[in-house]
Structure 1
Amino acid sequence: MEIIIQKRRYYVEVSGEGAPLLLLHGFTGSSETWKETITHLKRDYTCIAVDIIGHGKSSCPLEKEAYSIELAAEDMKALMKELGHPRFHVMGYSMGGRLALTLAVLFPKSVQSLLLESASPGLKTPEERQARERSDEALAERIEREGIESFVDYWQRLPLFATQNNLPQWKQQAIYQQRLRNSVIGLSRSLRGMGTGSQPSWWEVLPMLPMPVLLVTGTEDVKFTKIASEMAQLLPSAIWKEIKGAGHAIHVEDSEKFGTIIKEFLSHT
């Protein structure tokens, strides 16, 4: 289905029944990436998978301002209210994890629990954010210059996704084809508006988050394992689960184990 929020069109997949769970994908992803996870959760939860602005079948506005992570969080709150869920669980992966965390920071009364897969609260210093913003701008220009196919080829070869080379060929191909369905405008604007360099740093806010938080990382993802370790020490009510042998996208690499961890956490919130 499609839901319009402030003239922005969001594509939404709703399945299952029970307590509402909002699912937010990563950069270059879409609601499609949660399909396997949803099969493990839909008996007990109403799974609401959204194409984030600039991705999948959702709007790809021209103006950078439409992609700010705070505005996207406001839209997600409004979208869930439109669906009849003023309070809900939210799970986000990577970029979607940063969006989920932003949602929890800005609207803590709406978020019953927060589940973060391979996510971060942003960068700690203005200098780090400025450097990353320049890097994201260079990457956005590359997308505009070379096109989607060239960029996706580059993106999938990043060391961050190396463990996905162990997936069956059909699954690797499905991920590749899904990424190709994104647009130059959507991805380049997402980098400029919702990249790690352009979002606020939420590190200092973590100790104030009242809801239960689940952190999930793969042991092969060294960078985000370190980030999760630091976050776990700051969050008042956090559980951190490490998946041995997994990389950045655990829900893709081992959906069954991932689904089991999610169900176990949600059953206690």
Structure 2
Amino acid sequence: MPRIATRDGIGLHYEEVGEGTPILFIHEFGGNHESWEPQLRYFSRRYRCITYAARGYPPSDVPTSLDQYSQAIAADDAVAVLDALGIEKAHIVGLSMGGFCTVHFGLRTPERALSLTIAGAGYGCEKEFEEYFRGVSREVADRFETMGAEAFAPIYGSGASRVQFQNKDPLGWKEFVERLATHDRVGAAMTMRGVQARRPSFWDLEDDLRRMMVPSLVVVGDEDDHCLQPGIFLKKTIPACGLSIIPKTGHTLNLEEPAAFNALLAEFFAQVEHGAWKVRDPRALPGQVMKTA
């Protein structure tokens, strides 16, 4: 199996297909590198597509120390994948946990990103839900650790923003849950405690986000309630940011609505590559309703 080594010696499994401008896909907590198959099949026709299993997700290594899991480490792991493959810059695409990683990739190493696609990111960002999210993340970690992924996967996979996928595409949702059931109980618990429960809110990063000039696209499902306001915040804060909201859609965007998701990304990449995805026109004043003079 192809593997790369991170700065701290953790082995990460990766896969790549296609030729051309690179795209790096970063998976969500409930998925793994295989979750991007609809995108790899579509974009590998004209791009070099790379995806990898995050630390804690077999066949990547599963560190057992909490100190080996954090949001900063996750972002540095993404850079390590590009370094190992000799890639200077790439389009970075992340969903949920991977979307947070994409934001931090842009903040920490903007010179390595052609663009940022931040999909389904926002859980725990809203200040009124911040402590609740940290608590429920630790509870989810305990469930994975004590019950095991196989027993807990159908419960986790039936969350308020997952049932949309189940209703639209029962077979696809079943495959998602079966993939979730293969997660390593230690890796899942450590990821929840070390990355998810400790990551900063987007609101805490406002000053840095306002300075981040990387072309960005935020994608949110309109029934993914705890990502809607964070998505709007990112749109208003990142200078060269667009926002797309997919109707009647939950959290698992790239699998639930693959055609819509792929079309959004294809247009975004095309505009970025032609220099047409610019910062917001300063004349588009947020406080102005109509111009009178």
1:14 aligns with 2:16: yes
1:268 corresponds to which of 268, 271, 282: 271
Match of 1:93 among 92, 95, 102: 95
Name the SS for the 2:51 alignment partner.
strand
Give 3-state SS (helix, strand or coil) of 1:62's partner.
Answer: coil
Point out where structure 1 has 5 or more consecutive residues left out of the alignment: none
RMSD: 1.8
SS in 2 for 1:141: helix
1:255 and 2:281 equivalent? no
2:257 maps to a residue whose letter is D
Instruction: Check the 8 A contact 1:129/1:198 in 2, yes or no.
Output: no
Length-normalised TM-score, structure 1: 0.93
Instruction: State the distance in 2 between where 1:97 and 1:168 align.
Output: 23
Displacement of 1:167 in angstroms is: 3.6
Contact 2:123 2:226 in 1 (8 A): no
Matches within 5 A, 1:57-136: 57-120=59-122, 123=125, 129-136=130-137
Residue 67 of structure 1 aligns with an amino acid whose one-letter code is Y
Equivalent residue letter for 1:137:
R
State the aligned residue count.
267
Instruction: Note if 1:219 corresponds to 2:226.
Output: no
| Deviations, residues 144-186 of structure 1 (Å, cap 9, x unaligned) | 1222122212101111101012244332221121111111001
Counterpart of 1:163 in structure 2 is 164
**8 Å CA contact retained: 1:15, 1:42:** yes
C-alpha spacing 1:128/1:157, structure 2 compared with 1 (3 Å): closer
Shift of 1:121: 8.6
SS in 1 for 2:87: coil
Percent sequence identity is 25
Distance 1:104 1:250 in 2: 21
Runs of 4+, deviation exceeding 4 Å: 127-131
How does 1:31-46 map onto structure 2 within 5 Å? 31-46=33-48
Superposition TM-score, scaled by structure 2 size? 0.86
Which structure has the larger Rg over C-alpha atoms?
A: 2
d(CA) in 2 for partners of 1:218 and 1:200? 22
Q: Secondary structure at the match of 1:172?
A: helix
What amino acid sits opposite 2:140 in the alignment?
A: L
2:238 maps to what in 1?
Answer: 235
- In structure 2, distance between residues paired with 1:119 and 1:131: 17
Q: Structure 2 CA distance, aligned partners of 1:156 and 1:12?
A: 25
Query: Which structure 2 segments of 5+ residues have no match?
Result: 273-293
